[in-house]
């Protein structure tokens, strides 16, 4: 645990003091991104200690050849992964011939890092005594521009403190990079050209196999005490790198500054022959604007983000810091401009999980993006899956399904399945349900039905076809069963009749039938088009109805709960509180078979179903199931505590809800699971947001109306959040005794607060 390492602050993530052992963790936590690229908080100057270098370009991936011990039919041959991209941030620094290297100097003092969340930049400052006894002060600041998303900027200041010094700056580009996470040590990049022109340099390279062309570029500028210096430089070139070398004699207390503009142009957006010309133009524009103006623009762009998505918490600075960190990192990862992109579980902060798309997007992220961005953004996330429909059908075919049934991949970059554990890849099929649910959820929240006739129905039909073929009629039970699945709780594999999966399957079938029924009246020609395209038969509809009406759910009369799966009650039902603390997390101390035999639940499973489909269960049912399953839940998935937090809040158990909230909000800042060095848990950050908005705030959409049941944790004085609901912005401020609702918009809005209708006029505030 990292607890108390990060300095509590409402608007900044701050690290004070240099600890080499925490370096890789801090490199994750202080990561920055702008949706188009991302950068771990690696030092610009050379560092000879342990570091995990990571620069990432959205959508540029490599299909790494699958590595398994024992091959199973149906495994994909490749695992697409986001690639570590050529390094554009590097600036080697030499002082009187000695390299500046925090792992090799005499002493580091006053080391401080700040990730300013309000304004969107990362700074670092320290004083250092080199082996040659020169004392220096170093101050750097960098950001990835939101406005010009192909550009990042670094300002690197050095001040000699005890002597004049010969300072050499060597800003460079390096395309000779490798991936931490590589199965076979393949070569991922092929370098095409290394060039420079004036103050700019360019390396064009392409990924092997996928053949993405990327130009990595930089433009540099030297200043002394704030004034641009027309410096001579030499150029050092290899077949993989290019560096400019500026050598200056600097007086004690003078400050030498290198400003570096850099980044990537990619053939996903430009013709591959234009990559250098575009890079040239973009860097020229950036350098003309200059560091200061670009920083102002960055602040303005972040102000716009916060205006729509900020959550404030009074009286609990750690909680405040946590939620803003989550919101910021989500925005680093995905902004919603490009429907071909999605939200990798680690965003641009690490390589684990390959940067690919999981069901996390539909189950956790879409609510956040629906409420904090324009509707178009969530629609783009739906369109992403629509665009992958054909591949999802192919994926199902590989597993023996037919006639247009689709199984969306567990993990994907381009629509093809990338994962290779049979118990997950082939069996964790509830993901298909989450993709259908997101369509429903988008319509429920935005009121925009148009996506469904346009694209969604095709997806729903293909998913319904999958469930039809995946269900088995058990003559023994005279019911349809679903055998051999892994539910959201991955601590059970190859189980039968997982409640969550069966319920989701039933819901998908019913929802698709309902949509078709609705479209018969209102969207007849769209329906006809889709029916023709998908060759949908009437007999399929009756099959779906038959299955949905006769699906089996394991149920315990004794406990009056749905069982997570067949046979759950055969387990030794010892609760988590009776598990020795030393044995947790069990995924680090127990063998896999022991985990599987145990009743322990990695993440909300039955309760995840109660979360998705809560209006279909009574409060008493929720309470019974929560009381039955919570005691067995170890929350060893980052996606678990938020669901339990929301449900605890719904049940009025605010202290428990708050504990779950803190666990999810500061998961990475406090490094709960000793793994933050691998990267941040981006997708679960959207769950944190849900914990406040849907949990404490009790936000729901009921019959086209927003509804709230505000509660507040004892530890807080007040909190507020904003919601973009159907193009009007509602701000909710919840205090100890009252809730204030403010509307920015142009139409009056009827809102349910604790079940009572409250009407708010545009640009007015109501206190309840």
With H, G, I as helix, E, B as strand and everything else as coil, classify residue 648.
helix
Q: Indicate whether 352 belongs to the interface with its own copies (CB under 8 A).
A: no
Pairwise CA distance, residues 762 & 748, whole Å? 5
* Shortest distance (Å) from residue 427 CB to its own copies: 6
The vertex-512 CA angle with 511 and 518, nearest 5°, equals 85
Residue 249 φ then ψ, to 5°: -90, 120
User: By CB neighbour count within 10 A (0-12 exposed, 13-18 middle, 19+ buried), where does 704 fall?
Assistant: exposed
Token pair, residue 109, equals 């003092």
Pairwise CA distance, residues 414 & 509, whole Å? 26
> Applying CB under 8 A, which part among 67-75, 140-148, 276-284, 303-311 lies near its own copies?
67-75
Among 2, 9, 66, 225, binds its own copies (CB under 8 A): 66
- Judged by beta carbon, residue 362 or residue 428, the one nearer its own copies is 428
CA-to-CA separations, 287 to 39, 148, 279, 280, 566, in angstroms, rounded: 20, 12, 12, 11, 64
> Applying CB under 8 A, which part among 203-211, 472-480, 512-520, 760-768 lies near its own copies?
472-480
Q: Give the CB-side neighbour count of residue 268, counting CA atoms within 13 A.
A: 18
> Applying CB under 8 A, which part among 89-97, 228-236, 591-599, 662-670 lies near its own copies?
591-599
Q: What is the DSSP letter of 706?
A: E
Q: Indicate whether 590 belongs to the interface with its own copies (CB under 8 A).
A: yes
Q: What is the DSSP letter of 110?
A: E
Q: Give the CB-side neighbour count of residue 507, counting CA atoms within 13 A.
A: 24
> Which alpha helices (H) appear in 153-274, and where do they start and end?
none
Q: Report the candidate in 167, 113, 115, 112 with the shortest Cα–Cα distance to residue 136.
A: 167
Among 51, 247, 494, 728, binds its own copies (CB under 8 A): 494
Would the annotation count 647 as a binding residue? no
- Judged by beta carbon, residue 594 or residue 747, the one nearer its own copies is 594
Among 3, 132, 211, 588, binds its own copies (CB under 8 A): 588
* Shortest distance (Å) from residue 473 CB to its own copies: 7
* Shortest distance (Å) from residue 185 CB to its own copies: 11
- Judged by beta carbon, residue 411 or residue 682, the one nearer its own copies is 411
* CA trace torsion 505, 726, 732, 702 (10° rounding): -40
Q: What b/e sequence results for 155-180 when a residue is b if at least 16 CB atoms lie within 10 Å of its CB, and e otherwise?
A: bbbbbbeeeebebbbbbbbbbebebe
* Shortest distance (Å) from residue 260 CB to its own copies: 40
For residues 361 and 683, the answer to whether their CB atoms sit within 8 Å is yes
> Applying CB under 8 A, which part among 62-70, 121-129, 229-237, 709-717 lies near its own copies?
62-70
Would the annotation count 181 as a binding residue? no
Taking every pair of Cα atoms in the chain, the longest distance, rounded to a whole number of angstroms, is 89
Q: Indicate whether 129 belongs to the interface with its own copies (CB under 8 A).
A: no
Strand partners, 412: 357
* CA trace torsion 384, 390, 393, 399 (10° rounding): -100
Q: Which of 490, 492, 636, 694 is catalytic?
A: 490
Among 528, 594, 736, 761, binds its own copies (CB under 8 A): 594
- Annotation says 416 is catalytic: no
For residues 675 and 636, the answer to whether their CB atoms sit within 8 Å is no
Give how far the C-alpha of residue 452 lies from the chain's centroid of Cα atoms, to the nearest Å.
25
CA-to-CA separations, 67 to 77, 179, 403, 486, in angstroms, rounded: 9, 15, 31, 22
Q: Indicate whether 589 belongs to the interface with its own copies (CB under 8 A).
A: yes
With H, G, I as helix, E, B as strand and everything else as coil, classify residue 695.
helix
Q: Indicate whether 484 belongs to the interface with its own copies (CB under 8 A).
A: yes
Q: What is the DSSP letter of 633?
A: B
Q: Indicate whether 77 belongs to the interface with its own copies (CB under 8 A).
A: no
For residues 362 and 700, the answer to whether their CB atoms sit within 8 Å is no
- Judged by beta carbon, residue 417 or residue 458, the one nearer its own copies is 417
Among 230, 475, 525, 737, binds its own copies (CB under 8 A): 475
- Judged by beta carbon, residue 236 or residue 589, the one nearer its own copies is 589
Q: What is the CA radius of gyration of the chain?
A: 27
Among 399, 531, 766, 768, binds its own copies (CB under 8 A): 399
Give how far the C-alpha of residue 415 lies from the chain's centroid of Cα atoms, to the nearest Å.
18
Among 4, 21, 593, 615, binds its own copies (CB under 8 A): 593
Q: Report the candidate in 291, 368, 376, 433 with the shortest Cα–Cα distance to residue 686.
A: 368
> Applying CB under 8 A, which part among 158-166, 393-401, 504-512, 700-708 lies near its own copies?
393-401
Pairwise CA distance, residues 656 & 653, whole Å? 6
Q: Indicate whether 628 belongs to the interface with its own copies (CB under 8 A).
A: no
> Applying CB under 8 A, which part among 34-42, 113-121, 423-431, 499-507 lies near its own copies?
423-431
Token pair, residue 446, equals 């935005």
Q: Indicate whether 570 belongs to the interface with its own copies (CB under 8 A).
A: yes
Number of shown-chain residues binding its own copies (CB under 8 A): 49
> Applying CB under 8 A, which part among 240-248, 471-479, 629-637, 725-733 lies near its own copies?
471-479
Give how far the C-alpha of residue 37 lies from the chain's centroid of Cα atoms, to the nearest Å.
13
Tell me, residue by residue from 524 to 563, as one string, x for binding to its own copies by CB under 8 A and - for no binding.
----------------------------------x-----
Among 4, 70, 97, 756, binds its own copies (CB under 8 A): 70
Among 1, 68, 317, 537, binds its own copies (CB under 8 A): 68
Strand partners, 707: 700, 752
For residues 643 and 678, the answer to whether their CB atoms sit within 8 Å is no
* Shortest distance (Å) from residue 64 CB to its own copies: 11
Q: Indicate whether 747 belongs to the interface with its own copies (CB under 8 A).
A: no
* Shortest distance (Å) from residue 595 CB to its own copies: 8
Q: Indicate whether 718 belongs to the interface with its own copies (CB under 8 A).
A: no
Among 21, 572, 714, 746, binds its own copies (CB under 8 A): 572
- Judged by beta carbon, residue 532 or residue 572, the one nearer its own copies is 572
Q: Indicate whether 567 belongs to the interface with its own copies (CB under 8 A).
A: yes
With H, G, I as helix, E, B as strand and everything else as coil, classify residue 386.
helix
Q: Report the candidate in 22, 6, 36 with the shortest Cα–Cα distance to residue 115.
A: 6
Among 9, 474, 715, 728, binds its own copies (CB under 8 A): 474
Q: What b/e sequence results for 203-219 when a residue is b if at least 16 CB atoms lie within 10 Å of its CB, and e otherwise?
A: bbbbbeebebbbbbbbb
Q: Indicate whether 571 belongs to the interface with its own copies (CB under 8 A).
A: yes
Q: Indicate whether 569 belongs to the interface with its own copies (CB under 8 A).
A: yes
Token pair, residue 171, equals 């800003």
* Shortest distance (Å) from residue 567 CB to its own copies: 5
Among 7, 596, 729, 766, binds its own copies (CB under 8 A): 596
Would the annotation count 121 as a binding residue? no
Give how far the C-alpha of residue 315 lies from the chain's centroid of Cα atoms, to the nearest Å.
28
* Shortest distance (Å) from residue 133 CB to its own copies: 47
* Shortest distance (Å) from residue 207 CB to its own copies: 22
Q: What is the DSSP letter of 354?
A: G
- Judged by beta carbon, residue 252 or residue 674, the one nearer its own copies is 674
Q: Indicate whether 192 belongs to the interface with its own copies (CB under 8 A).
A: no
Residue 273: count of CB within 10 angstroms of its CB: 10
* Shortest distance (Å) from residue 79 CB to its own copies: 9
Q: Indicate whether 67 belongs to the interface with its own copies (CB under 8 A).
A: yes
Among 14, 229, 483, 768, binds its own copies (CB under 8 A): 483
- Judged by beta carbon, residue 597 or residue 709, the one nearer its own copies is 597
Residue 559: count of CB within 10 angstroms of its CB: 15
- Catalytic center residues: 490
Q: What residues are designated binding site for substrate?
A: 359-360, 602-603
Tell me which residues touch its own copies (CB under 8 A): 66-70, 72-74, 398-400, 420-423, 426-427, 472-477, 481, 483-484, 493-497, 558, 566-567, 569-573, 587-594, 596-597
Q: What residues are designated binding site?
A: 359-360, 602-603
């Amino acid at each position: 645990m990292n607890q108390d390492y990060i300095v509590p602050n409402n608007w900044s993530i701050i690290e004070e003091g240099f600890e080499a052992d925490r370096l890789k963790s801090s490199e994750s936590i202080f990561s920055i991104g702008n949706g188009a690229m991302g950068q771990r908080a690696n030092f610009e100057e050379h560092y000879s200690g342990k570091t995990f270098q990571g620069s990432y370009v959205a959508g540029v991936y490599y299909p790494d050849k699958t590595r398994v011990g024992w091959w199973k039919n149906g495994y994909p041959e490749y695992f697409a992964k986001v690639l570590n991209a050529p390094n554009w941030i590097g600036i080697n620094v030499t002082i009187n011939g000695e390299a500046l290297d925090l792992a090799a100097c005499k002493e580091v003092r006053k080391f401080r890092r700040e990730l300013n969340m309000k304004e969107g930049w990362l700074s670092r400052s320290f004083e250092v005594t080199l082996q040659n006894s020169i004392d220096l002060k170093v101050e750097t600041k960098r950001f990835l521009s939101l406005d010009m998303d192909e550009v990042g900027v670094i300002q690197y200041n050095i001040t000699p403190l005890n002597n004049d010094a010969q300072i050499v700056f060597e800003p460079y580009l390096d395309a000779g990079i490798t991936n931490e996470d590589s199965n076979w040590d393949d070569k991922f990049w092929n370098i095409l050209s290394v060039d420079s022109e004036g103050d700019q340099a360019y390396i064009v390279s392409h990924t092997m196999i996928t053949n993405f062309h990327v130009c990595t570029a930089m433009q540099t500028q030297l200043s002394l005490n704030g004034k641009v210096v027309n410096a001579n430089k030499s150029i050092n070139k290899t077949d993989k790198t290019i560096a400019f070398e500026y050598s200056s004699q600097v007086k004690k207390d003078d400050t030498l500054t290198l400003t570096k503009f850099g980044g990537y142009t990619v053939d996903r957006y430009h013709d591959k022959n234009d990559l250098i010309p575009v890079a040239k133009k973009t860097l020229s524009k950036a350098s003309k604007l200059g560091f200061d103006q670009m920083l102002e623009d960055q602040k303005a762009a972040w102000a716009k983000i916060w205006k729509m998505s900020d959550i404030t918490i009074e009286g609990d600075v750690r909680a405040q810091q946590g939620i803003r960190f989550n919101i910021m990192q989500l925005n680093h990862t995905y902004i919603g401009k490009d429907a071909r992109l999605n939200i990798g579980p680690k965003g641009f902060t690490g390589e684990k999980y390959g940067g690919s798309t999981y069901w996390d997007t539909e189950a956790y992220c879409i609510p956040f993006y629906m409420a904090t961005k324009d509707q178009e953004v969530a629609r783009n996330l739906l369109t992403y899956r629509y665009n992958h429909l054909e591949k999802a059908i192919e994926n199902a075919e590989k597993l023996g399904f037919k006639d247009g049934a689709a199984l969306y991949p567990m993990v994907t970059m381009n629509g093809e399945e990338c994962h290779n554990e049979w118990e997950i890849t082939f069996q964790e099929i509830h993901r298909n349900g989450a993709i259908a649910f997101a369509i429903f959820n988008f319509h429920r929240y935005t009121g925009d039905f148009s996506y469904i006739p346009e694209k969604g129905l095709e997806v729903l039909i293909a998913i319904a076809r999958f469930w039809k073929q995946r269900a088995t009629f058990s003559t023994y039970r005279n019911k349809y069963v679903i055998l051999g699945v892994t539910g959201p709780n991955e601590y059970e594999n190859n189980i039968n009749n997982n409640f969550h999966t069966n319920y989701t399957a039933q819901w998908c079938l019913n929802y698709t039938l309902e949509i078709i029924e609705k479209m018969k009246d209102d969207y007849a020609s769209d329906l006809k088009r889709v029916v023709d395209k998908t060759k949908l038969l009437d007999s399929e509809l009756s099959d779906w109805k038959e299955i949905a009406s006769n699906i089996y759910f394991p149920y315990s009369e004794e406990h009056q709960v749905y069982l997570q799966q067949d046979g759950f009650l055969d387990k030794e039902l010892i609760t988590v509180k009776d598990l020795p603390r030393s044995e947790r997390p069990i995924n680090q101390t127990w063998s896999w078979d022991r985990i599987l035999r145990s009743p322990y639940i990695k993440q909300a499973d039955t309760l995840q179903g109660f979360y998705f489909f809560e209006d279909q269960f009574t409060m008493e049912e929720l309470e019974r199931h929560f009381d039955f399953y919570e005691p067995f839940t170890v929350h060893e998935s980052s996606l678990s505590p938020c669901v339990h937090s929301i449900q605890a809040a719904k049940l009025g158990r605010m202290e428990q809800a708050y504990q779950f909230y803190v666990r999810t909000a500061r998961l990475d800042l406090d490094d709960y699971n000793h793994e933050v060095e691998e990267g941040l848990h981006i997708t679960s950050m959207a769950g944190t947001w849900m914990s406040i908005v849907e949990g404490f705030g009790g936000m729901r959409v009921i019959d086209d109306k927003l509804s709230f049941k505000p509660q507040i944790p004892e530890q807080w004085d007040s909190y507020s959040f904003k919601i973009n609901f159907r193009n009007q912005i509602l701000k909710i401020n919840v205090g100890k005794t009252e809730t204030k609702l403010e509307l920015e918009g142009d139409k009056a809005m009827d809102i349910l607060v604790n079940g009572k209708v409250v009407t708010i006029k545009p640009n007015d505030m109501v206190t309840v």
